[in-house]
């Protein structure tokens, strides 16, 4: 009975939103009905198109953005699910995979109901989108020239949805092997709504105040990686450590799974970065190339520094280095050429390796190194954009420090501070808040048993 009550209270926000949408369905119906009504009019001979021609949809651009959307989806599930799933102990494999998989479902619905409107809806005071696009009201199939003039607005919306999905999924690595599933769901929903949506608005939306500062973030270095990295740090600090942390062996149970996941992340990242051109052409190609180059370099760099420092080149190291490179090139991918990409990857591999070593000394339990890879890699990427950006690559961008514009570096550094500060403090507050309503971590006995059995009544391997 008590559980039923809890379930009902958990459903309340969803129900409230559905009720809200009921009010907007009238508008939706009109919207859908409109083209059908105008079709016969257009066919009538006395009605030549007097209104200005609507922006033309480009089939190549639309194709690329839709394919990219599917590629970015593959980053969360199966990419991240396997990457993280292999790194935990066998008793937590399913629980970890489930977190990524269910975030894909949860945030997809959140994005349609209110997320997209808060992030990209008509600007309110440079800090948040309005509620005009709740339930995708007014987000139709004709292009929105503010964001992507040559593809249907819904194509841009669903491409952005996949970014909103993967960001909280990245954070799950910080609280892996110990967070209670129900608390995780509540946290994720609140985090997406209160941290991701506003931050995406600040950095990407027309009118967003960070965007107005002139910050460059091509594919989400600040919004996705710095925000997830800083939030991961807050999670590692607020949630208790895993039982036996530092004393018991907590070694990855299936590294082939992790390498498969890392490779799928790499594959999907072409959609993430090259897709962020929201067009198919020169810029997408440039972003595609530098993404690949930086990733390969970073994997080699991590492997090399580990080989020199510890004596053996590890497979997990190479895979981690690749992810660090992907993270670092993300904000820069639309603004830099191939040689700067080599440098960005090289530094990312070494820096993130050192960050992961440093974590062990600090003693906080960021289980799967979200801070070391996404936080540190993301910060490096944002700063590197301020160093290597060039208008020769992207006329719509800006020149960086090495191209005679030191001010850009300052703007990038400001963006880093803003996103780290906002994500860290915001996540800290959300966790404390959720913690007053329900326990954040599973019980000791449940943790010993593993998330698979204690949270889901299933086993990954039987």
Partner 1 sequence: MKMIEAIVKPFKLDEVKDALLEIGVQGMTVTEVKGFGRQKGHKETYRGQEYTIEFVPKVKIEVAVQDSQVQRVLDTITRTAKTGSIGDGKIFVRDLAMAVRIRTGETGDTAL
What track of x and - describes contact with partner 1 for positions 344 through 363 (by CB under 8 A)?
---------x--xx--x---
How many CA atoms does the CB half-sphere of 412 hold within 13 Å?
29
Facing residues of 315 across strands? none
206 binds partner 1 (CB under 8 A): no
314 binds partner 1 (CB under 8 A): yes
CA quadruple 247, 252, 253, 254: dihedral, nearest 10: -170
| Nearer of residues 90 and 138 to partner 1, judged by Cβ | 90
Least Cβ distance, residue 250 to partner 1 (angstroms): 9
177 binds partner 1 (CB under 8 A): no
Whether the CB-CB separation of 290 and 264 falls below 8 Å is answered with no
Least Cβ distance, residue 380 to partner 1 (angstroms): 18
Least Cβ distance, residue 300 to partner 1 (angstroms): 17
| Nearer of residues 14 and 309 to partner 1, judged by Cβ | 309
What track of x and - describes contact with partner 1 for positions 51 through 90 (by CB under 8 A)?
----------------------------------------
Least Cβ distance, residue 224 to partner 1 (angstroms): 22
251 binds partner 1 (CB under 8 A): yes
Whats the size of the chain, residue-wise? 462
Tell me the site size for partner 1, rule CB under 8 A. Answer: 15
Q: Which residues contact 389 (CB under 8 A, 6 or more apart)?
A: 216, 332, 335, 336, 397, 398, 399, 400, 403, 408
Relative to beta strand 128-129, strand 123-124 is: antiparallel
| Nearer of residues 304 and 442 to partner 1, judged by Cβ | 304
| Nearer of residues 147 and 364 to partner 1, judged by Cβ | 364
312 binds partner 1 (CB under 8 A): yes
286 binds partner 1 (CB under 8 A): no
303 binds partner 1 (CB under 8 A): no
Least Cβ distance, residue 296 to partner 1 (angstroms): 20
| 148: nearest Cα among 160, 164, 137, 138 | 160
| Nearer of residues 96 and 192 to partner 1, judged by Cβ | 96
Residue 9, phi then psi, degrees to nearest 5: -65, -35
Stretch that binds partner 1, among 127-135, 141-149, 220-228, 311-319 (CB under 8 A): 311-319
| Nearer of residues 369 and 399 to partner 1, judged by Cβ | 369
With residue 176 as reference, give the H or E element that holds it: none
With residue 123 as reference, give the H or E element that holds it: strand 123-124
Between residue 316 and residue 335, which ones bind partner 1 under the rule CB under 8 A?
316-317, 320
Q: What is the 3-state secondary structure (H, E, C) of 36-91?
A: HHHHHHHHCCCCCCCCCCCCCCCHHHHHHHHHHHHHHHHHHHHHHHHHHHHHCCHH
Distances (CA, A) of 404 to 253, 331, 341, 398, 410: 49, 19, 18, 10, 13
Distances (CA, A) of 116 to 161, 162, 325: 8, 11, 28
Least Cβ distance, residue 314 to partner 1 (angstroms): 6
Least Cβ distance, residue 249 to partner 1 (angstroms): 5
Looking at 197, 306, 399, 452, which residue binds partner 1 (CB under 8 A)?
306
- Binding interface with partner 1 (CB under 8 A): 249, 251-252, 306, 310, 312, 314, 316-317, 320, 353, 356-357, 360, 369
């Amino acid at each position: 009975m008590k559980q039923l009550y809890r379930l009902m209270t958990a459903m309340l926000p969803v129900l409230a939103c559905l009720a809200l949408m009921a009010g907007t369905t009238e508008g939706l119906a009109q919207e859908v009905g409109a083209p059908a009504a105008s079709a016969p009019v257009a066919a009538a001979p006395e009605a030549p198109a007097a209104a200005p021609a609507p922006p033309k949809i480009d089939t190549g651009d639309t194709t690329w953005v839709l394919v990219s959307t599917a590629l970015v989806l593959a980053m969360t599930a199966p990419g991240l699910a396997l990457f993280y799933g292999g790194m935990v102990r066998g008793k937590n494999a399913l629980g970890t995979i489930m977190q990524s998989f269910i975030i894909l479902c949860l945030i997809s619905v959140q994005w349609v109901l209110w997320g997209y409107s808060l992030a990209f809806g008509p600007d309110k005071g440079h800090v948040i989108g309005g509620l005009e696009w709740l339930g995708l009201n007014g987000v139709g199939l004709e292009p929105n020239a503010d964001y992507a003039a040559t593809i249907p607005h819904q194509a841009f919306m669903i491409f952005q949805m996949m970014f909103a999905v993967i960001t909280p999924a990245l954070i799950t690595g910080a609280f892996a092997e110990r967070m209670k599933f129900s608390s995780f769901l509540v946290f994720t929903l609140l985090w997406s709504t209160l941290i991701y949506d506003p931050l995406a608005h600040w950095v990407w939306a027309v009118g967003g105040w960070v965007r107005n500062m002139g910050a460059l973030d091509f594919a989400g270095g600040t919004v996705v990686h710095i925000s997830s990295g800083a939030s991961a740090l807050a999670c590692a600090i607020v949630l208790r450590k895993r039982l036996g942390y530092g004393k018991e062996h907590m070694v990855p149970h299936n590294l082939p799974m992790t390498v498969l996941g890392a490779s799928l992340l790499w594959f999907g990242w072409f959609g993430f970065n090259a897709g962020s051109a929201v067009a198919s052409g020169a810029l997408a190609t440039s972003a595609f190339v530098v993404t690949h180059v930086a990733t390969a370099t970073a994997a080699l760099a991590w492997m090399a520094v580990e080989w020199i420092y510890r004596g053996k080149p590890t497979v997990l190291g190479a895979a981690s280095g690749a992810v660090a490179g992907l993270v670092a090139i993300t904000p820069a991918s639309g603004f830099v050429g191939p040689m700067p990409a080599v440098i960005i990857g090289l530094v990312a591999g070494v820096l993130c390796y050192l960050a992961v070593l440093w974590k062990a000394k600090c003693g906080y339990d960021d289980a799967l190194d979200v801070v070391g890879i996404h936080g540190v890699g993301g910060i490096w990427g944002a700063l590197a954009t301020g160093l290597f950006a060039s208008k020769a690559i992207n006329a719509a961008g800006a020149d960086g420090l090495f191209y005679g514009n030191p001010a850009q570096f300052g703007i990038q550094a400001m963006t880093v501070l803003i996103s780290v500060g906002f994500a860290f403090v915001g996540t800290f507050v959300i966790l404390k808040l959720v913690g007053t309503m329900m326990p954040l971590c599973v019980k000791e006995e449940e943790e010993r048993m593993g998330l698979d059995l204690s949270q889901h009544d299933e086993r990954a391997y039987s």
